Amino acid sequence: PMLLLIPGPVQTRPEVRAAAAADIAPWDDEFRAEYAAMRPRIVRIAGGMEGEHAALPLPGCGHMVVEAAVRTFVPAGGRLLVVRNGSYADRLIRLATEAGRAVVPLDGADTEPMAPERLAAALAANPDCTHVAVVVSETGSGIVNDIAALGAVTRAAGRRLICDAVSGFGAIPFRIADHPECDVVVFTSNKCLEGLPGLGIAVAPVRRLEACRGQAGSWVMDLADVYDHALKNGWGSFRFTPAVQALRAFGVAMDLYDAEGGQPARLARYARNRDVLYDGLVALGFTPYLERRHQGPIIVNVHQPRDAAWDFRAFIERLKARGVLVSNFWNTAEPTIRIACIGAVGEDDIRFALAAIEAVLAEMGVGLRRAA
């Protein structure tokens, strides 16, 4: 079996994969009840209050639900300040711009979190920006923006927050009920919650959904319409055919999440994976992309070796032949290697991967300890 060390879709447990092995009619009454029972569980994981917040799954990927969040809560022609310190913030900017929203980027290095005082200054300088969008975990580099601090600045400035928690939700602490400035937190089924790909999920305050009806400019991408459909047709009803097997598997993934101990336990496991991976890569001679103090628990990124024998594609394929799959692309200006700490993996899996990396470097004749 392949060890998957990519930041999504992640390695999953056999029970999760097995849950997807049946054909399911999504509008069958039994499955409607199964889906309806998932929605309050999703709200709880997001730190929301049943009745005050709603879970709004959309079939598709993280980018789809991010666009839906922007469209739903930022009116057409509205101005959105985007904390821009990584490649996924760049993508958010493109999604918002092509949806007809005006973007003011707050640029920062992709090697450290955005300083709250910089956001405060940018909001003071741009009073016409109604919303702030923050990518919590940047899987291009591995940094984690301090969403509690950035949210507090947004709240103090009287603006609204769009929280892109796609790659960190379920591990990095966030409780939407503690953030009255937050219009929406978005995530997917297939990263830190360790489900299968196929669902983008939003959790939003009901009062904000009711206030933002009709401004998405899209039927498919309108989270307020997802909410209204549930009110009219029941919480077990989807508007359009869902990724139904992924949905059932997500219920099993939530069972496993709860059994492990929820967010604190999952963060602790990923943090242990990160520490073993970071230390192990340094011991092999790699240069980390981030200083240790800025290294988040989702992915570890290292510079590619400066060695005549180095060949990135050959490294990826040789590592795969040894049973380890890491990202075969990078999102940084300089060539890097991204290795995930998340998914249904533990420290022993990370040590296995490190041993495979060491063996591949030896096969290739890459002398990292000399060349780094």
Adjacent-strand bridge partners of 163: 134, 185
Mean pLDDT confidence for 303-323:
97
- At 367 the pLDDT is 83
pLDDT surpasses 80 at 130 = yes
pTM of the entire predicted model: 0.96
Q: What's the one-letter identity of residue 241? A: T
CA distance 105 to 93: 8
- At 260 the pLDDT is 98
The model's pLDDT over 320-352, given as tens digits with 9 standing for 90+, comes to: 999 999 999 999 999 999 999 999 999 999 999
Q: How confident is the model at residue 368 (pLDDT cuts 50, 70, 90)?
A: confident
- At 369 the pLDDT is 60
The model's pLDDT over 145-177, given as tens digits with 9 standing for 90+, comes to: 999 999 999 999 999 999 999 999 999 999 999
Mean pLDDT confidence for 25-41:
97
Cβ pair 95, 70 in contact under 8 A: yes
CA distance 167 to 66: 12
Which two tokens mark 322? 């040894």
CA distance 337 to 312: 9
pLDDT surpasses 90 at 194 = yes
The model's pLDDT over 69-110, given as tens digits with 9 standing for 90+, comes to: 999 999 999 999 999 999 999 999 999 999 999 999 999 999
Mean pLDDT confidence for 256-279:
98
Q: How confident is the model at residue 370 (pLDDT cuts 50, 70, 90)?
A: very low
> How high does pLDDT run on average in the chain?
97
Cβ pair 182, 176 in contact under 8 A: yes
pLDDT surpasses 90 at 372 = no
Residues whose CB falls within 8 Å of the CB of residue 60, separated by 6 or more in sequence, listed in order: 198, 199, 200, 243
Cβ pair 166, 64 in contact under 8 A: no
CA distance 13 to 250: 11
- At 371 the pLDDT is 40
